[in-house]
Every structure is written in structure tokens, then in C-alpha cells.
Structure 1
Amino acid sequence: MTQFTGLSEREAALSREKYGSNAIPESEPTTFWAEFKATFQDPMIRILLAVALLMVVMCLFGYADVYEPAGTILAVILVAIVSAKTGVASDTKYRQLKGSAKKDRCKVYRDGIITILDVDQVVVGDKVLLQAGDKIPADGVLISGGVRVDNSALNGEAEECPKTAAPEGTRLPQDITGDVFVDGSSLFRGAVLFDGEGVLDVQQVGVSTMMGRMAQEMQADEPDSPLKVKLARLAGLISKFGYIGAVVIAAMYLGHSVLVAGGFGNYLSQGFVPVLKNAVDALSLAVVIVVCAVPEGLPLMISLVLMQNTSKMLDHNVLVRKAEGIETAGSLNILFSDKTGTITKGRLEVVEFFTAGGITIPLEELDQHTVTKSLLDLAIGKNSQSMFDGQGNVVGGNATDQALMKLIGAEVYAQLESGCAITQSQSFNSSNKFSQAYLADLGKTFYKGAPERLLARAKRYVSLGGEVRDIDSEVVNRKIDELAARSMRVLALGYSQQEMVHDQINPDTVIIGFVAIRDDVRPEARQAIASVQRAGIQVVMITGDRLETAASIARDAGLLQKNDDLAITSAQLNRLSDDEVKRIVPRIRVIARALPTDKSRMVRLCQEMGLVVGMTGDGVNDSPALKRADVGFAMGSGTQAAKEAGKIVILDDNFKSIRDAIWYGRTIYHNILKFCKFQLTINFTAVVVSAIAPFFGVDEPLQVTHLLFVNLVMDGLGAMMLGSEPAQKAYMREKPRRRDESIVSCPMAAQIGAAGLWLTALSFFFLKAPCFNDLFQTTEQRLSAYFVLFIWSALFNGFNVRDEGGHIFRGLDENRGFLQVFAIVVAVQAVVVNAALLPGLGWLSRMFHCVPFSPAGWAVVIVLAGSVIPLDLIRKGILALLHPRAQEPEEKL
């Protein structure tokens, strides 16, 4: 190979000054303060702050206590702290994963000698020595030697791409297409050498490389998550309901006062002070209505649920970088998945062995055919560039050699090494298409190569019984064609009784058998893909591989099933307009020879169609699409650019883990829905009771402090109670939800309305019925008991929201926190109500306007509160009769 002088240190410094550094800027670490501030962009948080401001104004005029707005502000701060801690923790986990990787280094000619440098120190004009296993440090052209590279970091495919040297002065092409990766002399940062040796002329560094340009593309704003969109709509509805309701109720209150006074004239004749007091009471009632309407605990609940599940997902090999990503995964409509390493195993392996007689032998049964197996072991173990190291790992050689070596195993290889020695050998080359090794001790030459090369000379084969028979070419060719149609690479193995001849195959060669090699589909990926498809999610394999190979893998993986399912190439896709692509999107299952621009385009078009889009990937080429997608799944073994672009990192590169992320994402959303039912039922009841009570002669049955207890103490703990509900297999049989779908569906509104109306009727029965006069001698006792009734009713309703049917107690053993929180809320309320009897807690009694009452009163209140359970079971039973659902079999996950 030509010796290069390379740049001097002064020339390197001038080049760096002119063309820039080879470093690619990384994203800034997530800070607690940045995440804390971001929380205040949430529309629900803004409503809470508006409520707090109203209560501060009331405090200034002496119509509210300072702890009322203080409690709401405390809730907001808690939400911001929990959200910030979740964001920082996820980012820290990712950076720890990233920090464990060593800095890449390379061999550069400087001042006539080879110097080892960090890749960041490479400059334009450098001549970099590349050898097998090296990672290419910058974009440029091969100007010496010959290499085969793995471009999977760039195009997702671990195929061996031959690169030949170009004359010095050759420039990188302006237009980068998928074919540039496959052949020619162009080399790109991030690719890895399979084998060979050469010299790279560096022409692009840092942000000017393909990897760098993609890193810059990732700076674009990300779309709002489906959960954020839904919460914004919910916040808008709640604020309208609360504010309009507050104005209407306040007006009704003033109108009622006018009617009681006997007309408007009589009302005004009472004087300025009574009228002003009445107006302030109406305003106070309006504030109570707003406080009742706004679910203060919802933001806290969502933050806690996301935090709980991000840590839980690590057990499923899923690292959640951004908390909203896990919920978004559950909302997917379409998922674009990488092929290599995600659907397939990411490495070549022998998947089939057959004799020249057309008989296929399962790989696990090869040991039973001793003659065939012993010859096969020699043809592989003594005729390979690969070997086993001391730890049992295959090293050296190309991917094909390594796949064959794994077939025979470390133990057999060790036995062969201690046996006969190789006398002569010739390695594989592209012109001969075979390799050979002569073992003088055995008097045999062993061959390994392309079937057509060996079959052109060999006329006989070894049968399973050890007999040598004539080859039936038609049988062999039919079998090879069948495997080629499944995109398998077939290699022939044979032996000769003569000494090897350089560049020739001996005429007495006998075929031992044939092996089929492929990067095969993961068995668990087939099942996971089927599960995701049953969930109504369209899975599209998007790959840099050729169409025939991609289609074959897609069929094996269960992606191509119907006659109208489409497998198309990048070239075909780019001939279609955006509108034409949108029309065929529902039928697309495979996109082959895909470019980075194809991935970003498909994400954009699907989002324009209102779909929630997921993208998986591991290469630099995937990074822009990972960033643009609603949720990007980066592979743990992938490039740092891909990991920084994705919201979720799949640590084991397995489609099954993606399925688990989707499943848990749906579980999180269901748990959020359960909590919404839980809290909105309370809020609905509180609004109606507080609005109507003054007209029935009951002033403030629920104090603002009672409502804060509901929304902060009970609902904060309720977040833990319902946020840890177990994942159910039924969630993976549901159809995906639209991005703009309302959180409050019609069935959910019906459940909230039914429970809310029952609790409202129960409230007024309790507050006005004379049958309770003996149990509660004073108004203070009855109102204190009503506070208990309200809280216990909400707690019992927590069981109702756990299941759409009658299994409301199922799974409590998987969510032990439910009963623990139930007990904590009961204990806290018991302390609040009986605070006057406890030393030093009189202030707590005054804050909550509570007084103790008898044990019999407690028993009656608890029984009344429990009535919400049978009522909702009756409602569910009626619905089941009116709308029976077919029983679906439980699938494995």
C-alpha cells in the first residue's frame, strides 16, 4: 500500500480553522430548572394558577384564608418538581449509558508517520489509515487499497459493501443516493470496516458530514404529544365549564336574593352594606365553583404515573428518555420499523442445512449424522478466517465466516485445532468465489464457496449414510432457487482426495452439503408484530435492503399477508406525489432501499393524515425521522445521534420490547382515564352540590379547604392508587385512539354523570332528611359528617373505575398500593375530623371547620357512601345487557 506523508501539524491547524472541527455538537443536558419552567406551559397548570390568583384576591378582602391559595400553589409546585425530577432522571440514565462508551480513535498520517488521534481531531485533508474493525471518522473518498464496509449506522443494513480506490483528487458526489453506500469509493462517518485495508482522503468533517447534517436537522421543533393535545382540550372544556358555571350560579344566587327580598327595589333598599355583602357571597360561591371544577390533582397524577412507569420500563429493556414518550407509544396508529436487529437478529447465521440429495436436516439434529457432521466441521473449521477466542466469542473473518463458525461451536473448533494442521490454504476472493484448505494429515482438500462454482466441478455427494452418490442437478437447483426466493445466501461445502491447486477446484470434489445463511427474523418478533397488528397498529418495515430481500423477510415476519399489501422501493415512492402516497399509505408494508429523506417524508405525511407515528432506528440516517416522529424508538446498540433523537431507547434492540412499550403506554393512558373518572366524578358532584345548596338553605356544605383536601391530599394519593394499576392483555386488542380524541368519551361521561347524580341526590338526602337529626345534634356535626360521606363515597368509587365490567376487585394483589392509599386517606381524614380532641391540633379543626361526632354516625355515613358500588354495578349490568360484547380469547404477550 502507498505510504502517505499526510498533513503537518501546522497544515492541520489551518485546515481546522478553515473547515471547522470534526466534533459534532451534542444536545445540552436536561436541567432541573428548564424542566421546572416547562411545566408552566401546561394549560391545566395555568388554570390552577388563575384559581390561586382569584383566591389571593379573596384573601385580600378577608373572604378567604391564606392557606386556600397556598394549597393550590403548593400543588402546582409539587407537579413542577415531580415533572422536573422525572425529566432529569430519564436524561441522566441516558447520559450514563452514553458515557460508558469509549471515545472513538483513528490512525492518521501526520508528518510522515501514523498517529493515533481522537476522531474529533481529524481535519479536511487528512489521510486516515483504515483497517478491519475500524470506524470511519469522517466523510471522504478511498484513495488506496480496497475494503468492504458495514453501512448499517447510515442505511440500517449490515451488508458487505465493497469499496475500491479512486484516484487522488476524486471528490465526494454532490447527490447522495442509496447506491452510493453500496459501491464506489465514497466512505461516510459512522460506517465500520468488515475487512480489508485502505486510506481515506477526508473531505468533510463535523457538521458538514452526513452524520453532522442529520444532527442539525434534529433541531426542529417536536410535535405536541397526543396526551398534551388531549389535556389541552380537557383543560379548555373544564375552564369553560367552571367559569361559565361560576358566572351562572353567582347570577342565580343574586337573583334568588332579589326574589327573597320581594323584588329589585326592596333588595336595593336594604342599603349598600347588605347588598355588597351579598355580592361578595356570590363571588365567593363562584370561586368555590371554579375550585370544584378544576381537577387540581390531575397534573400531579400524570407526573407521578409517568415517573412510576419510566422506572418500571427498565425491567422491560426500555429506557424512557422523555416521559411523555411512553404514553405516546400507546397512542400509535402506524409504526415504521427498522429491519436489521429489530425485526431480524442483526447478524448472519446458518438457518438451514441440506444435502445434494435435497434432504434438509434440522440444525439441532446434525450431530446424529456423524459422517456428514465430521466432514462439515472440517470444511468450516479448517477453511475460515474466523476463530474462537478464549471467552468463546467468534473473532476475525467476515460475517459469513463468523456465522459458519458459530454453527460448529467453540468445543468442536478446539478439538479441530488440537488435531490435524492446515498444510496449504487459499482465502475467498471475489473472482474465484471459493476458499480452500489442504490437510496433508487427512489427504483432503476442503472447499467452501458459491454453489455454482463447486457444482461446476463436483458430480457426486455424500449421502446421510456416508455413501458417495451421483448428484441430481435438478433437485439441487430447485432447492437453491427456493432458498434464494427467501433471500437466503446459499454456500456449498465439499472435499477432494487430492492436493489443492491454486485458483482451481479439483475434478474429484464431493459435495458435503449446502448451508443457507440469512439475518433471520427473531422468533419473538413474529409474535410481537402479530400482537401490535391486533392492536390496530399498522407496522411498516422501512429498510435500506433490496426489495426482494426486504419482501422475503416481511413475509416471514407476518407483515406481508394480503394480496393488496404493498412492498415498494424508494425510487417508486419518490415518483409519487404527496397526495398519491397518502392514498396508498394504509396498504404499505415495506419500503426498501430507503433513504433518510424517505423516512422523514413518510413521518410528515402520516402526521398530516392525523396519525400518531412511531419510528424505530439505530443509524444516523434514522435520526431526523426519529426526532420528527411522535415517538422515536432508538436502538441501544445504535449511534449516539439516534439515541439523542429518540424519546425511548430499546436497550435490547428487540421488537418485543417495542411491543411492551406500546402495551405499557396504553396501560398508562387507561390509568389516566381511571383517575379522570375518579376525580371528575368528585368535581362534578362538588360543583352541583355547591351550586344548589344555597337554594336549599345550606350554606357552603363543602368549604374551600374541603375541596383542597379532595384535590390535593386525596387525589395526590389517588394518583399513586390508580397510577399503578396492572397492565391488562385486553388493552392490546383495542383500536388506536385518534390524536385529537377527547379524554372524556361518551361512556366515560355517562359513568361520571350517573355516579355524580347519585352522590348529589345522596348528599341532599343526608343534609336535609330529618331521620339523621338524632345522630347529629348540631349543624356543625352534620356538615362534618357530610365531609366524611363525600370522601368515603369518592374512595368507594375508586373501585368502580378500576374495571369497565364487574371485576372491580380483580388485580388488587398486583396493585397493593390501592388499599394502602385507601387506608392512609381514611386515617388522615379521621385525624382532621377529630382534631379538636387531639392535643395541639385545634388549629386543624378550625382550618377544616370540622367537629367530632359519634361512632354510630360514622357507621351510617360509611354505609351510605358504600352505596355507590352497587349502583355502578347495576349500571354496568344494564349496559352489558343492552350492548353485549363477544368474549375474546386471551392472547399471549
Structure 2
Amino acid sequence: MGLTDKEVIESRNKYGTNEITKRKQNTFMHLLLESLGDPIIKILLIALAIKVVVLFRNFDFFETIGILIAIFLASFISSISEYGSEKAFERLQSEQLNGKVKVKRNGVVKEIFSKDVVVGDVLVLSSGDRVCCDGYLLSGKISVDESTLNGESKEALKVSKSKVYGGSVVYDGEALMKVDCIGDNTLMGKISYELQEVVPESPLKTKLRGLAKTISRIGYVGALLASISYLFASIVIENNFDINLIKATISDFPLMFNHLMYALTLSVTIIVVAVPEGLPMMITLVLSSNMKRMLKDNVLVRKLVGIETAGSLNVLLTDKTGTLTKGALKVVCFVTPELKIYKSSSELKALNNYDIYYTSLALNNQSEFSGDCLVGGNSTDRALMEFIGRGGKKNIVSKELFDSSKKYSSITLSDGNIFIKGASEVIIHKCKSYLASDGSKKSFINQVGIKKKISSFTKAAGRVIVFAYGKSMDELCFIGFVNIKDELRSEAKEGVRLIKGAGIKPIMVTGDAKDTAEAIAREVGLIDIDNYLVLSSEELAKLSDEEIKKKYKNIAVIARALPSDKSRMVNILESMDLVVGMTGDGVNDAPALKKANVGFAVGSGTDVAKEAADIVILDNNILSISKAVLYGRTIFKSIRKFIIYQLTVNMCALVLSIVGSFIGVTTPITIVQMLWLNMIMDTFAGIAFSYEPPLLEYMNEPPKRKDNPIMNKYMYSEIIWTGLYCALLCIVFLKAPIFKSLIRVGDNDKYLMTAYFAMFIFMGIFNAFNARTVRINTFAKLGKNKPFILVFGFIFVAQMFIIYNGGDIFRTYGLELNELILVLVLALSVFPVDWLRKYVLKKRGIAIRV
């Protein structure tokens, strides 16, 4: 059954590949035009147009051309950055399309990428699979979730000849499906063509947008106040409050026009500098900059809100298998009812009961051999198949798949015998007899020896699977049991240590027996207190929600857990306003993964679990989960550092503009210079701060509440302190005779204005180094962010070029060496000023933390 290689090629040539055409992405030109439509750009263009129209021939041609070039460059660079971010997200999402499916070809079952499925293929569907195309069932019976197609959460039953659609998820059963539609021709493909997916804004981005609006309003008010202050100073104060002189000034149209134009230019300057139009996009920039690092650390972000929230985790409900252990299960031995131990299938083959052993281990199993490889089934099934090896087949009438609530699976053969495998506490008490070595059935009255042996295995972190058979589930014959070992991950202890050090409470939720779970928990470091609790599902059920709320800090393990236990724990912990993370891999984990604040699906898990999760941990490792937490914290801190940098410049500009007018200092920055400053603040600085490295020291901090405001006391202290100092330095530089005496005299103070512009930009460059670290050592960990060095190094070089080659466009006319040294020394003073602030905060015991 299934296509041959030749038929696959013919089908692909005729019907194409199983890929849905992606919705049209924003082109670079679209983003550029969108950027030129930015409100700030519109304000600048309107101001420029007014200036050109009113001044006619007297307007500054070079400045006008310079403004237009600066506007285009700012938009061009911003668009490149956004386009790069979108492409990075596109690459990230494509990682999720490389899922594999089981297909029958050339008479054998093999795994292929879903995009390689062709019309005519026969897919092998089982619990947990995501259907990748449309088709109809040839045989079998499955329950599927079609909610992605019709919005109905109710499961639909599919039997032979039933139509199954791509995008559905198999919850139960197994079946063979013949493919009749792929790619754009599937129902999902047609829906995707008609609909454009609208992704809701993440909470952090909403907060950033709100902060940007607040800052913008302050900027608009500041611009208005600065303009009014300038006009009041020019018209009223300069005329010594003389009514006649004031009237004369107002009636002098050319003079008033100059005052009004300057007031307009001043307000535009403040608005452009103060309005952080790039702030809401900062999170996208930070995430795209960290994508390669996250993927390298096996963290795949499916939903933006997941990585944002991961940094605030309070509790992590984690699986054992594959997360704390390697997930590479291995059968150590098979034990008969007479307590004889066999360590290989070759030893079992010599026994009279081998046929029954083989049926129990190999046929009551969802895994099967395809060539030399095992496909399908879970890790337990594959471990059993590897142990027992290949063999014959029997006519199976029906199958009952493993269910974590029942804790067993079974098959019924044509002769009426039921073969069952599962948890010891579920099966042993149903057994009335045991299978003796001579093939006879003997009374199974004394079970003490069996239970002791099982207990010795579980206390040594072994996992026991019990086998039985019979004509009825109430009168089974005990066949024996296997001891399965799953080696602890070498990184598990470190992962648990990091998670606990980050103030996160880890709780292991596993289907294993209490003894097994406790042994693993102790070994990995989950148990480190005297009054710890290891609860079984039954014991957990006896506790009320209020009792669990009181005891959750002591709970280390929940053993023999049911899916409902996971959902219940998530609900209880979230009701305490805790941020809860949940790991899962199976179909039954999906509800809890969806309910949790952050759902972590493991890479080897089912498609159902991955669909429900926010983050996929590609290597299943708890250490990678700790890295996801670290990246969540890093992203938040990077954004805060950027805000500190940007608002410090805003504070300086606002104070300088509003106060300066009353003391004879007007903002001596041209529109072109201001555009260059804005490009530094929004685009270049955004890129530089987005590459801030994930530092392990962040994992020593307690989790932040999810409703924490973006701004904190430390940020306010730096913004206000450094912003006021920079504004004061600018005023002193322009007014103090000592500085004027050190700068050459030129027409319209052109050298003083050049020096001032250079100092303002250099202060911004140097203060970026202050903003990126809370340490007094400004250059701590700087080597871990090479893009930061490159970006601000480029800005420094570009500024030097502008100083000496800007001419009339930038209104810069070159500085002599002594003038340049003076400017650099004054700009460098932001370092000791910030060191003093950090020292005072440290001495006063105030938390120095971004």
C-alpha cells in the first residue's frame, strides 16, 4: 500500500507541493512609503513648505536640500531595520512548518516533511498528529479537533470514507488517510487565501505604545510652552515690559514673522526630538535581534506574549521525561511472575511463553519498524520495541490507546484475548492468576514479592510497566513487567538551580509512580527542604483549593498526575496572581498549556501541544526553559535601557527649550541637525540596545509582576539627574564667557554653534554607555554587545565627518584641535556625573536595577 517513488514524482509534477502560498509580505518600498507618512515627517515637511512659500527667494537652499536628504535617510534606515525584523520573523515562523508526518511508500512506513506529501499518499494518523492536507480515511477510526476550521471545540468522529481536513488535530485513535488535496487546494489553503491573519498586539507592546503616547503629549505640551516662552521673552522681556515697545514689535511684520518662524521651528524641533515614534517597535527589534541566539539555545518563540511573560514566571510545572531526563528510555530487564530477570530479547526467545511476551510488548504498541528505524508511538513504545525486536503479526480486532486517566492501553485479538499494559497499581489488582514458566496459569494470591520488586525498581528511579492478558478485564493473568530507565540529563541540575535562583518555584508533574518521581526529584535538586511534599494524584484530589494555596511552596512533585491535575494547578496558582509556566508534550497537555500564562511545548511533543504552546523548547531541556526565562528578562531590560537613553535626551531638550528662552538661550539646533539626532535616538540606538546580551546575573533577581509598570525609580533617577545635568551644561556652555573665549569668533557664532552641536551629540553617545549598565564600571560586559560598539562607533565617526564636512547643510564649519578637545572633555563629563548618581543610590541602599 502507498505510492512508489516514481508515482510520487509524477504526482508532484502534476499537483505541486503541499505548501500554502504565504500572504503578501510588506515590501521594502511599502515600508519606506509608510515611514515617509509618519506624523513626525509630515510635521517637518509642512514646516519646510511654509518656510519655502513664505520666504520665497530668501530661503536657505542648502538647508532645504539637507532637510530633504535627512528625511529620506532617516526613513530609509528605519525601513531597512523594520524590513530586516519582518524577514527575521518570517524565518522564525518557517521553522514551525518543518513538521514531519508518517506516510506509507513502497510498502513501508516512513517519516517525511509535511511539505513533501503529494496527492495519492497514504498517511498514518495517530493521537497527537496534526493533519497536513485534505483526504479521506481508508481504514481506522479517529476523533479530530476541527476548531481551527469551523470554530467548534467539539471533537468530530471520523471513520472509513470520512473526509478529513488539513489543520485538524487527531485527539484519539489511529487511521490510514488517502490524500486528495494539498497546498492551496485544501480547505485551509482556501481559507488562508481569503483571510489575512491579524495578530493582536502583545501586552508589552501595548504598554510601550501607551508610554509613547504619554511622552508624546508631554512633548507637544513642552513644544507649546517653549514656543510661548520664546515669544514672551522676545516680545515682552526684551522690551522690558514696555507697552509701546511691545506694540511696535508686534506691528513690525518682518520682525514678528521671524519670531513666529523661529517659534515654529523650535516647537517642531522639540516634537521631533521628544516624540518616541520608534518606541512601540522596539520590542520587535529586540526580539528579532535575539532570534538567532534563542534558536541556538533551542528556544522557538511561537507567540510574542510568551517570551515577554517568561521573564515574570513565578511557578513552573514541569514534566519529567525528556525535560529533566534524556527521554531516551531503555528497557533494563523483563521480570516474570516468578521474579526471574531477563536482560535481552534473545533470552526471552528461549522461553515457552515468548509468543505471549512478544504480543504484550510488540503488538500492544503504537510504534513499528520502518527499515532500521522506529516510527510512531511514544518513547515508552519505542523502548519496548527496541527491546523485543521484530517478529510476527496477529489479527488485531480492536485497540484502546493509552490514556493518562486510565493509565493503560490494550488490544483485542481475533481469539478474544485482551492484552493490556500499564501502571502496576491499575493492573495487578485485576489479576486473578499469573503465567508460570511452563505456560500454565496459577493462582495469583501472594503478590507481596512482586510488589517489593517493583518498589525496589521505582525507588531507584526506574519506571515499571506491567503486562497481563485474559478474556475479561476483571479476570486477567499476570504476565510480568519491565523496568525502564531514563537517564538524567547532565544539564538538569544546572537548569533547576538557575530556575530556583531566579525566584521561580519548580514543581515536577509526572505520570510516574511516587517512588520513581521522588528519586528523580531528589537527584535533580527539586527537593531541598525538610517539609517537602510528594503528592499522588489521589492525594492532590483530597486537598481543597485553599489548602493547595497554602502548601504549594512545599510541593515538589505531583506523581501519577492526570491532565485534570495540571489544569487545576494552573487555575489555582493563577488565581493567586502568580505567573505560571507549564511544560507539556501530549494531546492531554494542550488544555493546561493554553491556560498557563506561558505554555512550553517540547520539541519532541505532539503537534497538538505545540499548537497550544507559546514557546517550543526544541531540545526538551529544562536548561533551555531557564534560557527562555533569561531571554524574557533580557528583552524587558533592553527596552528599559533604550527608554533611559531616549528620555534622557528628551529631558535635556525640553528643559533647555523651556528654561532657555527666559535666560537668553534659544535652542541652537537646526532642523537638519535635529533629524540627525532623531535618527541616532530612534533608529541607531534601537539597533544598538536590541543586541544587549542575556546576562546570567538577571537570573539572580526576583520575578517582576506582570502588571509592573515599564518605568521604575532607578530609571527616573537617571533620566532626571543626567537630563538636567546635560541641559545645565548646554546653558553654561552657551552663556559662560570662559567657554566663549575658548572658541573662535565667527559670523553668527558659527564656530560656537558647531561646538555646541558636537557636544550635544557626543553627550548622547557617551550617555548611551551609562544607560546600558547599572554598574559604576560603565564598560562592564561591553564586549558581549559588539553591535553596540559598532553602532556608536559609527555615529562617532559620522559626527566627526559632519563637523568638518557638514558645511551649510549641517551648519558645521570645522573645529580646531583645542576646540574639539574641549567639546569631548565636556561631553565625557556625563560619565563621572552618572557614577556619582550610582554611588549615592548604592550608599543609600536603593535597588540599582533596570
TM-score with structure 1 setting the length: 0.65
From 224, 230, 236, the equivalent of 1:258 is 236
- In structure 2, relative to structure 1, the CA distance for the partners of 1:489 and 1:34 (3 Å cut) is same
Name the residue aligned to 1:814: 784
* Aligned residue runs from structure 1 range 682-693, under 5 A: 682-693=649-660
- In structure 2, relative to structure 1, the CA distance for the partners of 1:492 and 1:826 (3 Å cut) is closer
Name the residue aligned to 1:90: 89
Determine if the alignment matches structure 1 residue 786 to structure 2 residue 753: no
- Asked whether the equivalents of residues 688 and 788 of structure 2 are also in contact (C-alpha less than 8 Å), the reply is yes
User: Shift of residue 279 of structure 1?
Assistant: 3.2
Name the residue aligned to 2:733: 766
Name the residue aligned to 1:249: 226
Q: For residue 800 of structure 1, what is the amino acid of its counterpart?
A: N
From 577, 587, 593, the equivalent of 2:562 is 593
- In structure 2, relative to structure 1, the CA distance for the partners of 1:686 and 1:263 (3 Å cut) is same
- Asked whether the equivalents of residues 246 and 286 of structure 1 are also in contact (C-alpha less than 8 Å), the reply is yes
Q: Distance in 2 between matches of 1:700 and 1:397?
A: 72
Alpha-carbon displacement from aligned partner over 1:25-44 (angstroms, at most 9, x marks no partner): 998735422999899999x9
- In structure 2, relative to structure 1, the CA distance for the partners of 1:713 and 1:348 (3 Å cut) is same
Name the residue aligned to 1:284: 265
From 800, 818, 830, the equivalent of 1:856 is 818
Determine if the alignment matches structure 1 residue 33 to structure 2 residue 26: yes
From 633, 652, 677, the equivalent of 1:666 is 633
3-state SS of the aligned residue for 1:807? coil
- Asked whether the equivalents of residues 593 and 609 of structure 2 are also in contact (C-alpha less than 8 Å), the reply is yes
Aligned residues: 745
- Asked whether the equivalents of residues 236 and 242 of structure 2 are also in contact (C-alpha less than 8 Å), the reply is yes
User: Shift of residue 850 of structure 1?
Assistant: 0.8
- In structure 2, relative to structure 1, the CA distance for the partners of 1:340 and 1:73 (3 Å cut) is farther
Name the residue aligned to 2:161: none
User: Shift of residue 846 of structure 1?
Assistant: 1.2
From 800, 803, 816, the equivalent of 2:773 is 803
Alpha-carbon displacement from aligned partner over 1:191-250 (angstroms, at most 9, x marks no partner): 5999xx999999xxx9xxxx99xx9xx999765323203212321221121111122222
User: Shift of residue 750 of structure 1?
Assistant: 0.2
User: Shift of residue 704 of structure 1?
Assistant: 2.8
- Asked whether the equivalents of residues 131 and 193 of structure 1 are also in contact (C-alpha less than 8 Å), the reply is no
Q: Distance in 2 between matches of 1:807 and 1:862?
A: 20
3-state SS of the aligned residue for 1:852? coil
User: Shift of residue 853 of structure 1?
Assistant: 1.6
Q: Distance in 1 between matches of 2:845 and 2:822?
A: 36
Q: Distance in 1 between matches of 2:477 and 2:595?
A: 54
- Asked whether the equivalents of residues 222 and 628 of structure 1 are also in contact (C-alpha less than 8 Å), the reply is no
Alpha-carbon displacement from aligned partner over 1:617-648 (angstroms, at most 9, x marks no partner): 55566668767876554443445565566554
* Aligned residue runs from structure 1 range 535-550, under 5 A: 535-537=502-504
Q: For residue 703 of structure 1, what is the amino acid of its counterpart?
A: T
- In structure 2, relative to structure 1, the CA distance for the partners of 1:28 and 1:750 (3 Å cut) is farther
Determine if the alignment matches structure 1 residue 676 to structure 2 residue 666: no
Alpha-carbon displacement from aligned partner over 1:260-283 (angstroms, at most 9, x marks no partner): 222455323330513344233323
- Asked whether the equivalents of residues 301 and 715 of structure 1 are also in contact (C-alpha less than 8 Å), the reply is no
- In structure 2, relative to structure 1, the CA distance for the partners of 1:611 and 1:244 (3 Å cut) is farther
User: Shift of residue 748 of structure 1?
Assistant: 0.8
Q: Distance in 2 between matches of 1:278 and 1:821?
A: 38
* Aligned residue runs from structure 1 range 597-612, under 5 A: none
- Asked whether the equivalents of residues 585 and 602 of structure 2 are also in contact (C-alpha less than 8 Å), the reply is yes
- Asked whether the equivalents of residues 450 and 490 of structure 1 are also in contact (C-alpha less than 8 Å), the reply is no
- In structure 2, relative to structure 1, the CA distance for the partners of 1:834 and 1:605 (3 Å cut) is farther
Name the residue aligned to 2:204: 227
Name the residue aligned to 1:11: none
- Asked whether the equivalents of residues 334 and 341 of structure 2 are also in contact (C-alpha less than 8 Å), the reply is no
Gaps of 5+ in 2: 1-17, 108-115, 146-151, 159-163, 397-409, 422-426, 438-445, 468-475
Gaps of 5+ in 1: 1-24, 109-116, 123-127, 155-173, 182-186, 359-370, 436-448, 460-471, 494-502, 836-843, 888-893
- In structure 2, relative to structure 1, the CA distance for the partners of 1:198 and 1:688 (3 Å cut) is closer
- Asked whether the equivalents of residues 337 and 436 of structure 2 are also in contact (C-alpha less than 8 Å), the reply is no
* Aligned residue runs from structure 1 range 229-628, under 5 A: 229-256=206-233, 257-261=235-239, 262-264=241-243, 266-270=245-249, 271=251, 273=253, 274-295=255-276, 298=279, 302-321=283-302, 326-333=307-314, 341-342=322-323, 345-346=326-327, 348-350=329-331, 378-379=347-348, 384=358, 402-403=382-383, 477-481=451-455, 489-490=463-464, 516-517=483-484, 522=489, 524-525=491-492, 527-537=494-504, 592-594=561-563, 616-618=583-585
User: Shift of residue 720 of structure 1?
Assistant: 3.7
Alpha-carbon displacement from aligned partner over 1:661-708 (angstroms, at most 9, x marks no partner): 221222222222222222222222122223333333333322232232
Q: Distance in 2 between matches of 1:819 and 1:853?
A: 25
Q: Distance in 1 between matches of 2:687 and 2:810?
A: 24
* Aligned residue runs from structure 1 range 68-147, under 5 A: 68=67, 71=70, 75=74, 78-95=77-94, 98-99=97-98, 101=100, 104=103
- In structure 2, relative to structure 1, the CA distance for the partners of 1:748 and 1:336 (3 Å cut) is same
User: Shift of residue 650 of structure 1?
Assistant: 2.9
User: Shift of residue 712 of structure 1?
Assistant: 0.8
- In structure 2, relative to structure 1, the CA distance for the partners of 1:334 and 1:281 (3 Å cut) is farther
Q: Distance in 1 between matches of 2:507 and 2:780?
A: 37
Q: For residue 254 of structure 1, what is the amino acid of its counterpart?
A: L
- Asked whether the equivalents of residues 302 and 672 of structure 1 are also in contact (C-alpha less than 8 Å), the reply is yes
- In structure 2, relative to structure 1, the CA distance for the partners of 1:280 and 1:237 (3 Å cut) is same
Q: Distance in 1 between matches of 2:518 and 2:134?
A: 33
Name the residue aligned to 2:684: 717
- In structure 2, relative to structure 1, the CA distance for the partners of 1:792 and 1:352 (3 Å cut) is farther
User: Shift of residue 392 of structure 1?
Assistant: 7.2
Q: Distance in 2 between matches of 1:57 and 1:608?
A: 58
- Asked whether the equivalents of residues 842 and 848 of structure 2 are also in contact (C-alpha less than 8 Å), the reply is no
Which stretch shifts more, 134-143 or 99-108? 134-143
- In structure 2, relative to structure 1, the CA distance for the partners of 1:751 and 1:655 (3 Å cut) is same
- Asked whether the equivalents of residues 342 and 655 of structure 1 are also in contact (C-alpha less than 8 Å), the reply is yes
Q: For residue 775 of structure 1, what is the amino acid of its counterpart?
A: L
3-state SS of the aligned residue for 1:32? coil
Q: Distance in 1 between matches of 2:596 and 2:41?
A: 32
Alpha-carbon displacement from aligned partner over 1:819-849 (angstroms, at most 9, x marks no partner): 33333222111111111xxxxxxxx321211
Q: Distance in 2 between matches of 1:272 and 1:714?
A: 39
- In structure 2, relative to structure 1, the CA distance for the partners of 1:639 and 1:674 (3 Å cut) is same
3-state SS of the aligned residue for 1:516? strand
Q: For residue 244 of structure 1, what is the amino acid of its counterpart?
A: V
From 826, 845, 849, the equivalent of 1:883 is 845
3-state SS of the aligned residue for 1:834? helix
Q: For residue 842 of structure 2, what is the amino acid of its counterpart?
A: A
Name the residue aligned to 1:865: 827
From 639, 660, 671, the equivalent of 1:704 is 671
Q: For residue 742 of structure 1, what is the amino acid of its counterpart?
A: P
Which stretch shifts more, 553-562 or 240-249? 553-562
Q: Distance in 2 between matches of 1:391 and 1:105?
A: 12
- In structure 2, relative to structure 1, the CA distance for the partners of 1:235 and 1:608 (3 Å cut) is farther
3-state SS of the aligned residue for 2:742? coil
Alpha-carbon displacement from aligned partner over 1:407-428 (angstroms, at most 9, x marks no partner): 79xxxx9xxx9xxxx99x9999
User: Shift of residue 856 of structure 1?
Assistant: 0.9
- In structure 2, relative to structure 1, the CA distance for the partners of 1:475 and 1:330 (3 Å cut) is same
- In structure 2, relative to structure 1, the CA distance for the partners of 1:664 and 1:198 (3 Å cut) is closer
Alpha-carbon displacement from aligned partner over 1:106-136 (angstroms, at most 9, x marks no partner): 999xxxxxxxx989989xxxxx998999979
- Asked whether the equivalents of residues 714 and 848 of structure 2 are also in contact (C-alpha less than 8 Å), the reply is no
From 612, 618, 628, the equivalent of 1:651 is 618
What RMSD over aligned residues (CA atoms) do the two structures have, in Å?
6.4
3-state SS of the aligned residue for 1:883? coil
- In structure 2, relative to structure 1, the CA distance for the partners of 1:780 and 1:201 (3 Å cut) is closer
- Asked whether the equivalents of residues 135 and 193 of structure 1 are also in contact (C-alpha less than 8 Å), the reply is no
- Asked whether the equivalents of residues 102 and 123 of structure 2 are also in contact (C-alpha less than 8 Å), the reply is no
3-state SS of the aligned residue for 2:300? strand
Which stretch shifts more, 267-276 or 321-330? 321-330
Q: Distance in 1 between matches of 2:553 and 2:48?
A: 54
